Amino acid sequence: MSKPIAVAMSGGVDSSVVAGLLHSRGEAVIGLTMQLWNQRRLPELQSDKATGRCCSLDDVYDARGVAQLLGIPYYVLNFEDRFEQQVVKPFVSEYLAGRTPIPCTLCNNFIKFDQFLDMAEGVGAEQIATGHYAQIRHNAESGRWEMLRGVDHSKDQTYFLFGLTQDQLSRTLFPLGGMQKSAVRELAAQLGIPTASKPDSQEICFVPNGDYAGFIAAYSKEQGIAPPDATGEFVTPDGEVLGEHEGVHRFTVGQRRGLGIAAGEPLYVISTEPATQRVTIGRNDELLRTGMRVADINWISIAEPSEPIRAEVKIRNRHNAAPATITGKEVVFDEPQRALTPGQAAVFYRGELVLGGGWIE
């Protein structure tokens, strides 16, 4: 019998279908759920209305239910310590430092494709499979593992997967990468998976209702970290003071809502400066930039290029990748782009192929 495949099961539709699909192909499947964060931990964030959470007991029950339906071995893994160190703490400190971090990428890099992969190998699995919408293929000519966007572009998750190494890719399966989400839901119903109609998860899993500021305040309080300085000034690019705000960590580049400044035209956050607690705001066109530096670039489908290369570069998950020239760490767009946000990822594409990516400085 072939070596078992460890499936990361969140209790949602996608990973449930992955388990069902591999099982129906006759693979030996082990279901594993990562317990990442205790949702009852921060008393300030408890409410009946909280949505978009991961790792709730219901999710574990759902995942276990699917495993029981399939008749596969199933275990819950406690990764809370590691998740807090590698994802939650950096998330909070990045926000307080005036950047807009992407915890999902950190989670992929340090938890799902690191600790989870190790655990899977430790218990005797040679490969892992997840419900990500992305594709992996081996290029015999270059000898490299390549990553391609998910066929369902509306669900494509490659923006969050740019940190995967060749070794990680070689041991990972994304069985849904070639499928449309609607087909996944149909398959879930066919396989009799009880979570077939469960809504997609949204937001950042450990932050209830997308309230970052509330999470940061509650976590800082628990950790005995002084709460972020509560006030600062809104200024124009010319330095004119327009009003007061309650801390730079509440604002992100490009944000329009919640500024509370009356003006004749829409105003946006142009930049934030934690040291002085200044938030610079201005017109939409003042957000446009042509160039940026990208740190810690990981090359996936191609080896690190020695010459400038052309690529389409995505600077937010919902951004339409824009043509640019990449020279070392420097990225220069053909056309100015709106809101280049420090802390977000820049991911490089060539058509469907994911070339690599890094962090916007």
Partner 1 sequence: MQRYYFDHNATTPVSREALEAMLPAFTEIYGNASSIHHFGQAARHLLDEARKQVADALGASAEEIVFTSGGTESDNLALLGGAAGGHLVTTAIEHPAVLQTAGRLAGWSCVPVGPSGVVDPDDVRKALKSDTALISVMHANNELGTIQPLAEIVKLGVPVHADGVQALGKIPVNVRELGVAMYSISGHKVGAPKGIGALYVRKGTKLKARQFGGRHERERRAGTENVAGAVALARAMQTHVDTEALRDRLEHAVLRDIPDAHVNAAGSPRIPNTTNIRFDGIDSDALLIALDLRGFAVSSGAACSSGAPEPSHVLLAIGLTREQARSSIRFSLGRGNTADQVDALVGALAESVTHLRKLSPAYV
Q: Which residues are catalytic, by number?
A: 107, 205
Q: Which of 95, 111, 108, 101 is nearest to 34 (CA)?
A: 111
Tell me how far, at minimum, the Cβ of 74 lies from partner 1, in Å.
9
Question: Given candidates 65, 75, 236, 254, which one binds partner 1 under the rule CB under 8 A?
Answer: 75
CA distance readout (Å), 310 to 5, 261, 313, 318, 326: 37, 40, 9, 21, 6
Question: Given candidates 41, 50, 64, 246, which one binds partner 1 under the rule CB under 8 A?
Answer: 64
Site membership for partner 1, residue 289 (CB under 8 A): no
Q: Which of residues 89-128 bind partner 1 (CB under 8 A)?
A: 118-119, 121-124
Question: Given candidates 55, 193, 315, 339, which one binds partner 1 under the rule CB under 8 A?
Answer: 55
The site map against partner 1 for 11-50 (x = CB under 8 A) is -------------------x--x-x---------------
Q: What is the DSSP string of 98-158?
A: T----HHHHHIIIIIIIIHHHHHHHTT-SEEE---SEEEEEETTTTEEEEEE-SSTTT--G
Site membership for partner 1, residue 317 (CB under 8 A): no
Question: Given candidates 24, 46, 57, 244, which one binds partner 1 under the rule CB under 8 A?
Answer: 57
- Phi then psi for residue 351, to 5 deg, are 65, -125
Tell me how far, at minimum, the Cβ of 137 lies from partner 1, in Å.
26
CB atoms within 10 A of CB 334: 11
Nearer to partner 1, 121 or 186 (CB): 121
Orientation angle between helical segments 181-190 and 13-24, nearest 10 degrees: 60
* Binding region for partner 1 (CB under 8 A): 4, 30, 33, 35, 55, 57, 60, 64, 73, 75-78, 80-81, 118-119, 121-124
